[in-house]
Amino acid sequence: MSAIVTAVSRGKGHAFSKPNQLTIRLLAGLGVEGDAHMGVKVKHRYHVSKNPDAPNLRQVHLMHEELFDELRGAGFVVSPGDLGENATTRGVDLLGLPRGARLRLGPEAIVEITGLRSPCKQIDAFKTGLKDAVLGKDAVGRLIRKSGVMAIVVAGGDVKAGDAVSVELPAGPHAPLTPV
């Protein structure tokens, strides 16, 4: 199966979920045009309260649709955009990518993975128990965050459902993803 974008979403306000769109436009160095998290400096309210001048490493939120399949098996019905992601993908192991991996989304847009999204308490306000469902433990007991990855926009362009996704790994040793 080829890796594809299955949905795109954006939201003007700081709501938890983002409405699906036919197309989103990624702007280099800024993020998703018209999205509350667009900007050079951090926009996430929690991170702004800590350091409003920090660089925005969370310009684009990507989520693997395979998580929705897993959550359905646990009794949760979650659809693209519900968890606040901008791009929903299928066929890409987002959580297994190293920091600095680049994804080409469609013919022009390129994003660079900066880290993992940590699920916050808002996820339980959306659906009770969902936060625990998007967290797990590996074989040695380390925490696994399954709620997607964050990225910055390297090259802008329009992205829509059905667009191909290709991965370019960074050179040298690969650094694992950590929360941003």
Instruction: Give tens-digit pLDDT for 4-36.
Output: 999 999 999 988 999 999 999 999 999 999 999
Please check whether residue 43 lies inside any domain of the structure: yes
The H-or-E segment that residue 158 falls in is strand 157-160
The residue whose two tokens read 């013919």 is 107
For residue 112, give its domain range. Answer: 4-168
- The pLDDT assigned to 87 comes to 98
* DSSP-assigned letter for residue 107: T
* Residue 15 domain-assigned (yes or no): yes
Share of the chain above pLDDT 90, in %: 90
Instruction: Examine residue 180 and state whether it is found in any structural domain, yes or no.
Output: no
DSSP 93: -
Residue 9, domain CATH:
2.40.33.20
Number of domains in the chain: 1
pLDDT mean over 97-120: 96
What was the pLDDT predicted at 47? 86
- Whole-number Cα distances in Å, 87 to 54, 125, 126, 138, 156: 23, 22, 19, 26, 14
**Model confidence pLDDT, tens digit, residues 136-173:** 999 999 999 999 999 999 999 999 999 999 999 999 89
Q: Is the dihedral of CA 42, 171, 146, 23 positive or negative?
A: positive
The whole-angstrom separation of Cα 159 and Cα 92 is 16
pLDDT tier, 54 (very low <50, low <70, confident <90, very high otherwise): very high
pLDDT-based confidence at 1, cuts 50/70/90? low
- Is residue 173, in this structure, part of any structural domain at all? no
Q: What's the chain's average pLDDT?
A: 95
The answer to the question of residue 87 being in a domain is yes
Please check the confidence at residue 102 and state whether its pLDDT lies above 80.
yes
